[in-house]
A and B are shown apart, each in its own frame.
Chain A
């Protein structure tokens, strides 16, 4: 991916897609958190998101593209970067000069990708099946209620699944720890006064968002 682009262009695009995904994560976690506060509110917002044509046919494809691009470019960069040092060091101490998070974005990234697959099987594929294959756009279950909260709550009854989710969000957190501030650096935003603030915000974001997701999963698991 990204053939013909220079290294700086790739880096900037990686950052821009990253920014986009940061916004998406914020939105996703906020809506999900509604399930803890008010199942009804969660249901109606979910229904809106699931059926609104703008969300469905504009934002969703853009999101899909953003995700695929970010992953594809990430993997392509990793391959290229590996080639830039064909003979490795016999002794290397990368931990002396760079954080684990910054050096292992590909690992945390791939773990999050694997989680995506599970997540799609859990939620997104059934959703597509219901809406576009069965053609049921009502968002109602057999009892005539909105089905969103119920489905969510149901998925988190499986302890193994919850465990996998929790672990995945820890990987997401590690990915964000570096990714958030790195994206700013990539687009050239760096300032003696503001960069420390960006780094702090990044750390807060990287803890709060995954923690919210973990909380939601555990909340539903424990409130059987």
Chain B
């Protein structure tokens, strides 16, 4: 085991980034034309990085597996993006955003990275407005804000319930400008299947053209991985069907350390599972918790009556409802951070109070918000003695304006009207805080290979606060990587074009080809999804919202067994030529089956509860915080970065000790 150097600049926290920027090496514009950069993934991080690098003058080759960069799953982010603008004058500042993020992450993130993130956050909003992102505005024409979980200020900018979409389309439009100029060469429907390391440096990738099936070699002076998170290791998650870990896992196998894989965010407000055929879960924005109140019945007989359809939730009297978040966390109430809200829902459902047939659902109720807004509107409109119906009608209008698209989505999926009856929600895998280990420059342990956005591990610690993923993706791509990568590339101005004829490219292509040939010739008896679903079940049951030693050990063995069976029994119809969606899935699931085991191993080794990682062995035993997660700063205040050694369980741990100079480590209390 070694200790990792994060290359964090010296000096006071507040000056690190600006001092760093003043001192790094730059590449002059004429030389940038001689340098190629590969970017894998076109979400907020990859898209913004591609556009910015191209604009600076580098030749960018961007890859995505979808048919257009605009489809990347950043598009599905609903609620908003944080920025320390303090437009509301409620005491916000970069320091406070930094503080909230570190605290929200349960003190498991790198201080300097988070401060930098908070510092550039305001620029993101300026940038996005300049490129035509239609953020929500107030009647005065200025930008509107809302509040998100785990914080005490309103710093979240939003565009209806489609903020991710609008930000991604902004980055996509910036990319389009560069594609039109020829500075970005776009490879749609291409999947990266390996990274090529030449003389110790990342010098290119092997990609499969998903339309023709051709295996292609692409070279560059640096490779940027922006391929998102690995939540689909659970099979069911709020990720897109195609979201995968392959790019990240391939660089891991070639030398990039994988950090904190066990830090996974289980989002509290998702539409519950309805049956075994379910292919994915749908998130309902956290912003709903601004106005919705979460509850389950207090009495078990009510629960049974509801499940049997004898009672409707609206018929349950106020005093028979358990608003358990408000009860347990009076200070933050329904706006506690995601990990806390998710565990509380699980606790109630495990105790038998779940309100749907599967027993895995709680209510999210808008009745009091509708009445409150309705009364307010009646007053504004000068209606005297409004009837109850009038108040509700007025209130529903306001709620519709705020969350209309979410309500519509819910109704389409569940076939119930959430204005009239409470929504049912349950936690689901949503985001992975863990990822490829990167230093302050966002470079992995492979020189010249970078990881940005959700693909890296750096900024959210053990739990991510709402509206921070969009912030990090764009910060990395627009404002951080373009500086840090220049420092590295300044050594490459005389290198010239990288040849794809080297033995390293040859070998990498051969390995990729062999694996593909294996799949299409295996003649197994079971589909790829069969294995993926089994993996997902093990992950959810034993490496899900609550974990313990025994379960984790079992999970490691079970995943290994599934993996071995997969390689014997998987069946991939069709050929290696042309479009073959089963072949694509097979490669991705093969990688998930390795990652899953490392994930469990990491969870097993981290014998503390922090953020999204909850170990049943590590809880507060008494006092006000009884039953809450218990962190162990003495033994675990480090980043666990794993080095690949051929078998996931043989991975070697490297630690990056986390130092908190500007923040005092405290128990997170939302009571």
A and B touch in the complex (CB under 8 A): no
Contact surface of B with A, Cβ cutoff 8 Å? none
